[in-house]
């Protein structure tokens, strides 16, 4: 009886982990596709940077940066943004 109960708990934990992974991957794919089309991500928290318009969006395990291209801005006067995506720890 105890072995069946233990296997049931392990099965439930695996199912919850799999559902969590699927949700995380879907959040990441949605935010990544929005970033590719230069729209704001929806599953991230916004953090402003005091350098003239750059914004950092923090998601679940990843960071999306919308950074002002300073070379383009100072040379031509155009405010162009560069989009980057990276993990939290970099």
Q: How confident is the model at residue 60 (pLDDT cuts 50, 70, 90)?
A: confident
The stretches of 2-90 forming alpha helices (DSSP H) are 2-36, 70-76
For the chain, counts of helices (H) and of strands (E): 2, 4
Q: For the whole model, what pTM was predicted? A: 0.71
Task: Give the pLDDT score at 79.
Answer: 76
Question: pLDDT for 8-47, tens place per residue?
Answer: 888 999 999 999 999 999 999 998 898 888 888 899 898 8
DSSP code of residue 83: E
User: Parallel, antiparallel, or unpaired: how do β-strands 62-68 and 81-87 relate?
Assistant: antiparallel
Find out whether 65 and 84 touch, Cβ atoms under 8 Å: yes
The closest alpha carbon to 43, from 34, 51, 52, belongs to: 34
Task: Give the pLDDT score at 19.
Answer: 96
Reply yes or no on whether the pLDDT at 78 is more than 70.
yes
Select the more confidently predicted residue: 88 or 23.
23
């Amino acid at each position: 009886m105890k072995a069946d109960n233990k296997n049931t708990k392990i099965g439930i934990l695996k199912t919850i982990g799999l559902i969590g992974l699927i949700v995380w991957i879907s959040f990441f794919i949605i935010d990544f596709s929005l970033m590719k089309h230069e729209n704001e991500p929806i599953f991230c928290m916004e953090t402003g940077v005091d350098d003239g318009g750059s914004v950092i969006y923090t998601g679940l395990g990843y960071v999306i940066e919308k950074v002002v291209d300073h070379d383009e801005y100072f040379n031509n006067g155009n405010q162009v943004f560069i989009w980057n995506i990276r993990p939290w720890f970099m």
